[in-house]
Structure 1
Amino acid sequence: MGDARSEPEDAASGDATTDTGGAETAPESDVESRSDGDPEPDAESLSTEELRRQVEEEYDFDSFGPSEMASMSAEEWEAAFDPETWITGEELLDRIEADVKARVLRRDVFARVERLARPDRVVAYSDEGYALVYGDGTVEGMGTVLRDVKPSVALCSMEEYDVPEAPDGDLLPQPMEVPEGSGEFGNLMVQVIAGALVLSGVVLGGAALVTGDIGVIAGTVGLLFLVAGGLLFFTVANARLSDRFRAEEYRNRLRAVGPADGERPDFLPESARGEPKLEGERGDEETAEQGA
């Protein structure tokens, strides 16, 4: 370390000797201003502060997500977050576990979240990808889960971010608990309107058969009512069928994740597998390692 620090000083002294032998020399005013001991203004720090203020005005960190993280440049990221104040270690993993679980409960993220031991880490995985987070903030993985977890890692590293409380119980429902659709009241109201239109169309069509010139108008209006009623019935049937397909697709994803039987997807690497870390083990791992 002593040799590394002495090399720049030797190079600097050599450059100074060369400059004094050249045609131009530094003005005496510059020499006096540098020798009086006052530090020069740090333009880089001033620009960083300005950039930090711009980032705070542009981004809302209470609703910071993957899209905001992707739009932020490297310079804005370094200006907004101070690495020296980042939270790491077990506290970081506790915050990430709570934050991701809360997002899963809100259905912002589809994943199963586990806390694994030796080494201490948090893994979130679905049927399409995974994210593995270590105590130093390192994140590895693939797919949409990695994209969704990265903002949580960044936010949980900051003391200013208030992490929600970790929810208890099962975060993902059982496959058979998923309803096939919602909004039955709305579907019923649409069917009532469609039935009224069809009935009106039939009445007007029957009236058109027994009337004269007025029957042409009644028949036209009745035909329009029949078409409108048929379209509404088709819309309700299509919505119910779509809800059924979406519910079955969600059940299949839950079965692939295995929330009940503890099975994990085959694409998970060995680093994302392991025994779960129990509550009693947290905080005792370092003591056990030191004793060993």
Structure 2
Amino acid sequence: MADPDSAPSTDDERTVPDGSRPDDSSENFEDDLSLEELRAQVEEKYDFDNFGPRDMAQMTAREWDAVFDPDSWITGPELLDRVEADVKTRVVQRDVFARVERFSDPDRLVAYSDEGYAVVYEDGTVEGMGTVLRDVKPSVALASMDDYDVPEMPEGEVLPRPLEVPEGTGELGNQVLQVVAGVQVLMGVALVFSPLVVDLGRSWVVALVAGLGFLVIGGLLFLVVANARLSDKFRAEEYRNRLRAVGLDSDERPAFLDDLERGRLPGRDGGESDLDEESA
């Protein structure tokens, strides 16, 4: 079921139960364990509630086979339902940026963005390219496990419309900084012009230096607020552009979705290849 690209290397380091690394004479340490013992060891070693690509890379081939037993894999429409719920939840939590759609005939799940796509089939095969493929693979592996608790399916479109994206989220902090900056500037102005109102004697130099210091601090705080607001504006506009790229601002959709409906999918090299051939 697992995609060949995500299968772990047999060259990964292995440890014995006491935490030490086996020497050359115990190279077949895992082979000496029964399937139940190895499975228990792997479940203790890895946190499958937070399982990701890095954990996949660390697993040995025997550990992978022990945990992901083909006889216990969930496949078919149930697998696609579980993957869809898991991926959409991660999109809502901003762990993944992708638009998720379900296609039929054959039944398959498609997640895509402006930086790639992933197509998941009923047998657990995953095809695609880019960051979306990397993000979806762990969800497929976890959703195929019966003991993995899949989150509830989010309702509606999990990505916002471009016009719904706010300019920034730290407005309260910006307002507090503005108040502090304003107080600093007022104090600076008062100290700078105080010798003109009150006879400070030789202390007017201290007042002048202190006033200039307050003015500089206030100006720097205003610059921080301006930079934060400008950065939020650029980030929001970049996010809107990504949302428009996946068709959330109009009825237009990426061209490869039309190819997918016709049974063809863009290849990794920029060409096209039959879906049946890719998933074979």
TM-score (norm 1): 0.73
Aligned-partner residue type, residue 259 of structure 1: L
Report what 2:108 is aligned to.
121
Paired residue for 2:119, among 117, 127, 132? Answer: 132
Gapped runs of 5+ residues in structure 2?
A: 1-28, 264-280
**Of 88, 92, 101, the match for 2:79:** 92
Tell me if 1:199 matches 2:183.
no
Mean CA deviation greater in 194-203 or 219-228: 219-228
Question: Looking at CA atoms only, which structure, 1 or 2, has the larger radius of gyration?
Answer: 1
Q: Distance in 1 between matches of 2:30 and 2:230?
A: 63
Q: How far apart in 2 are the matches of 1:43 and 1:236?
A: 58
1:66: how far off?
Answer: 3.2
CA contact (8 A) 1:99 1:166 kept: yes
Residues 128 and 143 in structure 1, CA contact (< 8 A), matched pair in contact too? yes
Aligned to 2:247: 258
Separation in 2 of the partners of 1:78 and 1:176?
A: 47
Aligned to 1:68: 55
Cα 1:43/1:169, change in 2 over 3 Å: closer
1:108 Cα deviation from its structure 2 partner: 1.7
Query: How far 1:169 sits from its partner (Å)?
Result: 1.1
- Residue in 1 that maps onto 2:157: 170
In the TM superposition, what are the counterparts of 1:9-88 in structure 2 within 5 Å?
A: 44=31, 46=33, 49-88=36-75
Distance between the aligned counterparts of 1:73 and 1:173, measured in 2? 40
Q: TM-score, normalised by structure 2?
A: 0.76
Identical aligned residues as a percent = 68
Deviations 1:32-91 (A, max 9, x none): xxxxxxxxxx98251655543443233211122333334434343223322221111111
* Alpha-carbon separation, structure 2, partners of 1:272 and 1:221: 71
Normalized per residue, the structure richer in helix is 1
- Aligned CA-pair RMSD: 2.3
Paired residue secondary structure (2:255): coil
In structure 1, stretches of 5+ residues that fail to align are 1-41, 275-292
Aligned residue pairs total: 233
CA distance in 1, matches of 2:195, 2:54: 59
Confirm or deny that 1:179 pairs with 2:162.
Answer: no
Q: Which residue of 1 aligns with 2:201?
A: 212
